[in-house]
Amino acid sequence: MINKSVGEALNAQTNAEMYSAYRYLSMSASLSDKGLSGMANWMRKQAEEEMEHAMKIYDYVIESGGRVSLFDIEATTDQWDSALAVFEHVYAHEQKVTGMIHGLVDLASGEKDHATQNFLQWFVKEQVEEEDHSREILDKARLIGNNGPGLFLLDRDLGQRGI
C-alpha cells in the first residue's frame, strides 16, 4: 500500500500534469490564431504527452493500492503576444515541473518508499528531455525574433512532430 503522503503528492502531480496539458492546448490555440499551425501542432502533441504523464501517475497510484483523487484544473487565462513569449513560458514551465518531480522523489525517499522512487526515475529522465527540447526551441525562437522567414522555417520544422 502506498504511503498516504506520497499518494496525496502523486494525486497533486496528476493534477499538475493535466494542468500542463490544458496550458499547452491554450498555447496551441494562441499559435493557431497567429497562423503558426506547425507550432500549434507541436503544442497539441505536447498536451497529449502531458496527459499521458498524468495517466501514468494515475495508474501507478491505483496499482500501488492508493486512492486516486482528481481536483479541479485551474483555468489558464494567459495571452501570448508572440511565439517567443510562448516558448519562454514553456521552458519556465518545464523547469517548474522538474522541481515538482524532484520534490516527489525527495518525499518518496524520506518516506522510504522505494517503489515510488523507482517509478519516478522515468519522470526524472523525461524532464531532462523536456527541458532540453524546450530550451532548444526557445534558443531558436530568440535567434529568430519576429523575422518572418525564420518563423516560417521554425513553424515548418515544429509541424513535423508526430508524437
Go through the domains of the chain in sequence order and give each one's CATH number.
Answer: 4-158 (1.20.1260.10)
Q: Are 146 and 82 in contact (CB under 8 A)?
A: yes
What is the pTM (predicted TM-score) of this model? 0.93
Helix (H) or strand (E) holding 30: helix 4-33
* Sign, Cα dihedral of 51, 52, 54, 58: positive
Range in 27-41, 59-73, 149-163 the model is least confident about: 149-163
| pLDDT above 70: residue 163 | no
SS3 161: coil
Look at the block and give the residue holding cell 532548444.
136
Lowest mean pLDDT among 5-9, 136-140, 159-163: 159-163
**Does the pLDDT at position 78 exceed 90?**
no
C-alpha span between 52 and 42 (Å, rounded): 15
Instruction: Concatenate the DSSP letters of all residues of 71-86 into one string.
Output: -PPPP-----SSHHHH
User: In terms of DSSP H, where are the helices of the chain?
Assistant: 4-33, 37-63, 83-110, 114-144, 148-158
